[in-house]
Structure 1
Amino acid sequence: MVSYNKEYLVGKPVCEKEEILTGDDYCIHKRELLRVELNKKGEKIASIIMMNPSKADSDQSDTTVNKIIEMFHQLPQGQMGEDIIYLNILNILPIYNSKSSDLLSDFERIIELKSENFMTEILDNNMSMIESKIRESEYIILAWGMPKQFTLPLYYTQVAKVLQMLDKSDEIYVLKAKHPTGDIEVLTKDYLNPPHPSRCEISGLVKVMLQSHFRIK
């Protein structure tokens, strides 16, 4: 189990987590929100929107969430985002799974054992949570990356919904990412997509603009 670094946090993270399905060899949960308070000076709220939850909840963390917390806690004075004290960690897809390549099987199991409408409700409720947290945030950070072996039409339908919420926002950011090759990225080279923090080093924020037809510049 990956633990939180308690020196970086005030109190216990707040997690909106719920069991969806359980069976003899599986247990599927969703998380709409993980909220942490950083142990530092500041007053701003940031919402960071990633792909899907891995393991982090109120009692345990994961490597990606710890990486995000550490970066924001350690930002030097004068650097963009150094005044952030509250982090809302949100996701395009709310289903827990450490491997995005297994997400599709979770979706199909939920639809098969529950219903298509049930799955739609899960996604719609997640979008409502994202919208409510975006409204309270001074920083909105896009960090969803690309899933593996997942239906991209569904994924980018959800991405488009988020981008529509940001149509009038001027405070949109992505992570400054450094890859093992040494390359620095703001948007991924292949898809011009916000990079996900799990696959790179992150060292700060870069402000971007949302242009027409969902173009991030």
Structure 2
Amino acid sequence: MRIINNIFARYRLKVSINKNATNTILYILMNPSKADRKQCDETVKKILEFTHVQSSTSNNVIQNVKTVVIVNLYPFYETKPERLQKVINEVKKNSKNEYQKLIKKNMKVIKKNIKEAEYCFRLG
């Protein structure tokens, strides 16, 4: 979703990894990088691989994962984490009220997904 200029946001990324399973695992990260419904980035690739390996071994804590959900503390796309503050400042500069609405919406998405997940991890 386009916010302003070249700033885009993603509130949630949901990926099915095992149609025969039932559980959902939620990962909370800092901010999205490149991944969306059409392409994967290195972070998402690592998360999916880790989850698949962990949930396919019967003696692991993570079991029977059907869906991986990724949310972020900040919904704004930025490949380099050290540049995130610049993006946040630009969104605020454009409209502080709009920034607050985006963050509130993001928090609602995070809370909803925490309630729906059997497993939840915060990374970073």
Query: Matched residue of 2:12: which SS?
Result: strand
Structure 2 residue 101 is the aligned partner of structure 1 residue 121: yes
For CA contacts below 8 A with separation 6 or more, give which structure has more relative contact order: 2
TM-score (structure 1 length as normaliser): 0.54
CA, structure 1 residues 77+40, in 2 after alignment: closer, same or farther (shift >3 Å)?
farther
Structure 2 residue 29 is the aligned partner of structure 1 residue 50: yes
Deviation by residue 1:2-37 (Cα, 9 ceiling, x = unmatched): xxxxxxxxxxxxxxxx11012xxxx11011000011
Matching of residues 199-214 of structure 1 within 5 Å: none
| % identity of equivalent residues | 32
TM-score (structure 2 length as normaliser): 0.92
Matched residue, 2:53: 74
- What value does the CA root-mean-square deviation take over the aligned residues? 1.2
CA contact (8 A) 2:24 2:65 kept: yes
- Structure 1 residue ranges without an equivalent (≥5): 1-17, 146-217
- Aligned residue pair count: 122
Query: What is the CA–CA distance in structure 2 between the aligned matches of 1:142 and 1:112, rounded to whole Å?
Result: 29
Q: Which has the larger radius of gyration?
A: 1
Counterpart of 1:46, as a letter, is I
Deviation by residue 1:82-114 (Cα, 9 ceiling, x = unmatched): 31111110111111001111111111111222x
CA contact (8 A) 2:2 2:8 kept: yes
**Partner residue of 1:99 out of 68, 74, 80:** 80
- Structure 2 residue ranges without an equivalent (≥5): none
CA contact (8 A) 1:72 1:82 kept: no
Relative to its length, the structure with more helix (as a share) is: 2
CA contact (8 A) 2:18 2:65 kept: no
Matched residue, 1:21: 4
Matched residue, 1:61: 40
Structure 2 residue 8 is the aligned partner of structure 1 residue 33: no
- Structure 1 segments of 4 or more deviating over 4 A? none
